[in-house]
Structure 1
Amino acid sequence: MGYGHSRAAYALRDLSGGHVISANAYRGIPVHDRRLWTQLRQLYETISRVKPVPIIGSFLFEALDRWQEIPSFYPRRDLSEPNIQLKQMYHSIKQGLSRHFIEMLSRDPVPLVTTFFQPAFAADYYNYPGEIYCVTTDADISRSWAPMDPKKSRIKYFASNGRVVERLKLYGVREENIFLTGFPMPKELIGGPSSVSLKDTLMNRICNLDPQGIFLSRYERTLRAWLGPTKCKPRQSSHPLTIMYSVGGAGAQRHLGVQVMESLARKISRHEVRLILMAGTRRDVAQYYRLAAQYRGLGKQLDSWLLVPTFDSRSEYFAGFTRMLETTDILWTKPSELSFYTGLGLPIVIAPPIGSQEEFNRTWLQYMGGGVPQNDPRNTNEWLFDWIRSGGMARMAWNGYIEAPTHGVYRIEDIVLGRPSELHQPPLIV
């Protein structure tokens, strides 16, 4: 699974005592299953990395993207006919893929919450005795997310936004099996249903993103109403202006991080801005960034004003990523599942999308007002700071916090555990 599916599972880990099972890498997985999962992951990562290669890269990626294409939403119509990807997936399940996995889980049939559709389909097909829940991880989804026979399926969906709710209906999923929750994000960054931690973080962030006080002067009354007067007192931020450029799990678009580094080199050396180049578990990408920093005379700034963290596992990466977001002011990334993090009051600079799902994520993010497509990264030191001085980045941080769902992790927990929720229903924005 890619980072998107694993990131959602990490946020929900409290449901299972902190333990997350990977359907493609659990203890005791049959050799055949492991081999097939590995081949699928390597195929996707390879095609994602070669996309920039002229002709052949674009051809391969377009073929993959068409395989998982999302049909146009309008006019609304019956879209329940299974696509090729779904048929192939069910063929592999009927041949035994994930049967061992479901049989193992069936020994203790607690509610099954999966952030990837294949285990949900396998659980449904092999009659898993417990409840089956599937968390969606994009702002729009292909037909492959809904089961072969959606009217008869027991799978219940936690929808990341209103568009996904309506899309699942077009795919034939029964309305009573769809819950609008929002994408699950780490509790550490929220601080409960009342968002105690998030409100403090947001005001620190706005202090850095509104150095001229333009946004605060216009929206002080609104900020006080939403955050309370104690949160809106004049203050200095708890951290320097911090930008994070985050690379996806396939390591694509790593070159953009170097271009950002080059453009901000003087500001980094003067300690005017801190840059985090987030490579996740990709040690090859982290080494690429460290060598680039040395070559460009930024070696002395490494581990202080230029951070290139490395992690040995996804769980370590997600924990470290979460900690660093507490003092991050701007997130720069392709429009992956991280688009939903604008709900944490993070303004997002949008790198070029990779695939149709990410194009829909970009549209949703801009519709929320929480992100804007990047300008030329080689001129970051100019345009990004124009946006900051004008109060524009502070406005995007606020828009994301107000407009995008924030409490998905709590809504999902309430539903799975069967307890009443104190949270309001997020708006059905299609």
Structure 2
Amino acid sequence: MHSHKQGSVGAWVVDVNMGYGHSRAAHALKDLSGGNVLSANDYVGIPELDKKLWRESRELYEAVSRLKPVPVVGDMLFDAFDRWQQIAPFYPRRDLSKPNFQLTQIYRMIKKGLGKHLIAKLAENPIPLVTTFFIPAFCADYYDYPGDIWCVTTDADISRAWAPLDPQRSRIKYFASNGRVVERLKLYGVRDENIFLTGFPLPKELIGGPTANVLKDLLMHRLCNLDPQGIFTSVHTKSLRTELGNTRCALDKSAHPLTLTYSVGGAGAQKQLGVKLLNSLKNKIAQGKIRVNLVAGLRKDTAKFYRDAVLAAGLKKHLGTWINVPEFDSRDAYFSGFNELLKTTDILWTKPSELSFYTGLGIAVIMAPPIGSQEEFNRTWLQYVGGGISQGDPVYTNEWLFDWIDSGGVARMAWNGFIQAPTHGTYRIEDIVLGRTSELRKLPLIV
């Protein structure tokens, strides 16, 4: 069995500091690069022109995302922005290799020099380059990076902008997050031999190696909380014992209280939703029936917004115990801290971002409204594998959430996520990049 512990630098891992999705995937892969992740739009020595172009694109995305909840005007602006990066219907299968406007604009910037400095810097040590965003991959391909170029996809479906201008001639190889992405890349003209189905890279500290011992221990405690009436476990006892083992299947006492984590995206949109669910659950929180984590990421303003809401709800004495608003000072601290929270999280409530793939850890996902076409596809995928469901009215969370739990339905979602969604993406990617034969089973091509 291979070692998947952090070792010497075997590859460059490159993300972009734009939202959390691309960085979350890179953080899971940082053992490949000795624990370091390089941001293509925010590294020491980045030229001013590159910095300016990246900053403008990030600020536009975050500004429009925050406007989305604003009636009429916000919707109009976001819809216009979203159409620019829209994903074409998959059926009927057809040639979709023609570049779209977004892709031609990206290459226009690359031809002006975007990314040239970064690729020259990395080429001084031409080990494999693994990036979780398509633009650094395009730059490496365009500027003839000497080593292998790998691109990790981060949604359940992708737009034409993810594939290069001339996909048949490109050296870029892809790690596909699911079967739909595999098939989509083929429609975009990417050669079959350059596509590898691995699953999204999930944090290894929540899995525990190819045997997933850590995940199975955490899932046992999760199922105890999510099936208080024993409805789900009584029907699926045989499957539970087969997958988790007899020693894990007491299923009568959890090491932590029922815990819901609400996570806000990097742009800070949908922060009001966290307050609505907080106010609905305040009596349950005060009674010790549920613990709630309100995660604002790196946004200090949103964290303060939540702390003020906790005080306004009369829950001051429960702050830090039954209601938590963690703060983080760096992206690395945020991702590590968030993973730590997930160890004792039973239900993850979030928009269907890259966190949709976290159902593969055996976590039930309640989906807030999607923001953007990619998230619409993530929602469809999550429902397809059975790991999540769209939220009910947040004002009445105290009613519908506990009805779902008492019926065993939320336990079923956690179990479906564990069984149906890819779990070992990080391990598969490490093995392929390092040229090792993987001991993991081949993923089925579920589209």
1:328 is matched with which residue?
Answer: 345
Higher mean C-alpha displacement, 169-178 vs 223-232: 223-232
2:161 is matched with which residue?
Answer: 144
Q: Distance in 2 between matches of 1:118 and 1:302?
A: 42
Task: Report the AA paired with residue 17 of structure 1.
Answer: G
Matches within 5 A, 1:4-403: 4-403=21-420
Task: Report the AA paired with residue 324 of structure 1.
Answer: L
Task: Report the AA paired with residue 281 of structure 2.
Answer: L
Q: Distance in 1 between matches of 2:184 and 2:26?
A: 22
Task: Report the AA paired with residue 183 of structure 2.
Answer: E
1:425 CA displacement = 1.1
- Deviations, residues 66-99 of structure 1 (Å, cap 9, x unaligned): 0000000000000000000000000000001111
Task: Report the AA paired with residue 445 of structure 2.
Answer: L
Runs of 4+ displaced beyond 2 Å: none
1:233 CA displacement = 2.0
Task: Report the AA paired with residue 204 of structure 2.
Answer: K
Q: Distance in 1 between matches of 2:77 and 2:239?
A: 49
1:12 CA displacement = 0.2
Q: Structure 1 residues 348 and 234 mapped into 2: Cα distance closer, same or farther (>3 Å)?
A: closer
Q: Distance in 2 between matches of 1:52 and 1:199?
A: 38
1:54 CA displacement = 2.2
Q: Distance in 1 between matches of 2:154 and 2:275?
A: 28
Between the two proteins, the alignment pairs up a number of residues equal to 430
**Is the contact between residue 221 and residue 251 of structure 2 (CA under 8 Å) also seen in structure 1?**
no
Normalising by structure 2, what TM-score?
0.96
2:103 counterpart SS class: helix
2:247 counterpart SS class: coil
Task: Report the AA paired with residue 20 of structure 1.
Answer: V
2:38 counterpart SS class: coil
Q: Which runs of 5+ in 1 are unaligned?
A: none
Task: Report the AA paired with residue 64 of structure 2.
Answer: I
1:282 CA displacement = 0.8
Task: Report the AA paired with residue 261 of structure 1.
Answer: L
Q: Distance in 2 between matches of 1:423 and 1:2?
A: 31
- Over the matched positions of the two proteins, sequence identity in percent amounts to 68
Q: Cα RMSD over matched residues?
A: 0.6
1:216 CA displacement = 0.9
- Deviations, residues 19-70 of structure 1 (Å, cap 9, x unaligned): 0000000010011111211111111000000112222211110111000000
1:260 CA displacement = 0.4
**Is the contact between residue 68 and residue 78 of structure 2 (CA under 8 Å) also seen in structure 1?**
yes
1:230 counterpart SS class: helix
**Is the contact between residue 223 and residue 251 of structure 2 (CA under 8 Å) also seen in structure 1?**
no
1:234 CA displacement = 4.1
1:349 counterpart SS class: strand
